[in-house]
Structure 1
Amino acid sequence: MKTTQPTGSRAPLSTNAVLRVPPASSAAAAYFGAALAFHADVSDVAAVLVGGGAPGFVVVDSRSTESWAQGHVPGALHLPTALIPEQAEKLLDKAVPVVTYCWGPGCNGGARAALALAELGYQVKEMLGGIEYWIREGFEVETQEGRERRDADPLTATIGADNCGC
């Protein structure tokens, strides 16, 4: 496959950090299909939860009690990662998929919780962005005082539309 230099670019292709390793072709479908099997988007989770009816999954917040009290996804189950081995079977049904989350993209707590649950035989996905992006996209959070909603961050959420169209 011959690669040509884009018109107007200055750096030779060998120093282009994006294309130094060529994009995948047929392997991309397997990779992205697997990624979607392991992850859920906050907007998709919110759309299902707000839509009413049984969502077909349970949302698990894996953060500490103090973090949970600051605000969590309405209807989520609080199950800190450290307690999963001893409490999961009392609280969760292995026939119902679980969506885990923690603080945000800079935190791998949701992935740790998903791993702990998967090792126990649960069907699991991690909610990308965690509670940070849940809040940044303008979805309600629940606290001891009730529910609250902040304005959506225009850098992370489409303003004036139900979804981003992706």
Structure 2
Amino acid sequence: MSAVTAVPAAGNAAAIAHYAARLAFETDVSDVAADLAAGAPGLVVVDSRSLESWRQGHVRGAVHLPTAEIAARAAAVVPVGATVVTYCWGPGCNGATRAALEFARLGHPVKEMLGGFEYWAREGFPVETASGVERRPVDPLTAPATGAACAC
């Protein structure tokens, strides 16, 4: 017996609904990096981590808005109608999910950036620190070592 097929795959209609819904709620670091590089309008990337974490390094072009401060500060940081992309440390942290929930409660369109800051840095995208902007080497387990897009 197959461990994979012991529970049958969902039917096509259910699978389409599920995967379409996931794409409505999530984005990845590569797509966010491409939009930031292109200056795509109507996008606000929000780092929901602590100030200490922000200072350690963050997505270049992101704004710092810890989850506990979203309700009080979102109106000053996010233009009306902008899509918010939240991130936190990485896949082992649900801080970006909590932040996305807060923005949704305030009526903002929102997506969570899968992989968080960890995968942003591991894929070699620009990291801003107090010392300036740096790019870390690409981790070949997360992206092509050439830095080219994975074309997925």
TM-score range, shorter chain: over 0.9
Instruction: Tell me the residue number matched to 1:67.
Output: 53
- Kept in 2, the 8 Å contact 1:58–1:99? The answer is yes
* Correspondence list, 1:32-71, <5 A: 32-51=19-38, 53-71=39-57
Instruction: Tell me the residue number matched to 2:16.
Output: 29
Q: 1:145 aligns with which of 120, 131, 136?
A: 131
**Larger Rg over CA atoms:** 1
Report the count of equivalent residues. Answer: 151
Instruction: Tell me the residue number matched to 1:4.
Output: none
Alpha-carbon distance, 1:161 to partner: 4.8
Given residue 41 of structure 1, which amino acid in structure 2 is its aligned partner?
D
What SS class does the counterpart of residue 100 from structure 1 fall into? strand
What SS class does the counterpart of residue 154 from structure 1 fall into? coil
- Kept in 2, the 8 Å contact 1:94–1:121? The answer is no
Identical-residue share of aligned pairs (%)? 62
Alpha-carbon distance, 1:54 to partner: 3.5
Instruction: Structure 1: state its 5+ residue gaps.
Output: 1-12
What SS class does the counterpart of residue 117 from structure 1 fall into? helix
Instruction: Structure 2: state its 5+ residue gaps.
Output: none
Q: Please give the alpha-carbon distance, in whole angstroms, between the structure 2 residues aligned to 1:75 and 1:161.
A: 20
* TM-score, scaled to structure 1: 0.88
Given residue 119 of structure 1, which amino acid in structure 2 is its aligned partner?
R
Residues 81 and 159 of structure 1: CA distance in aligned 2, closer, same or farther (over 3 Å): same
Q: Please give the alpha-carbon distance, in whole angstroms, between the structure 1 residues aligned to 2:37 and 2:76.
A: 26
Structure 1 moving runs of 4+ over 4 Å: none
Instruction: Tell me the residue number matched to 1:134.
Output: 120
- Kept in 1, the 8 Å contact 2:44–2:85? The answer is yes
Q: Please give the alpha-carbon distance, in whole angstroms, between the structure 1 residues aligned to 2:59 and 2:41.
A: 14
Structure 1 range deviating more: 23-32 or 127-136? 23-32
- Kept in 1, the 8 Å contact 2:42–2:81? The answer is no
User: Is 1:93 the equivalent of 2:79?
Assistant: yes
Given residue 105 of structure 1, which amino acid in structure 2 is its aligned partner?
P
Q: Please give the alpha-carbon distance, in whole angstroms, between the structure 2 residues aligned to 1:65 and 1:165.
A: 34
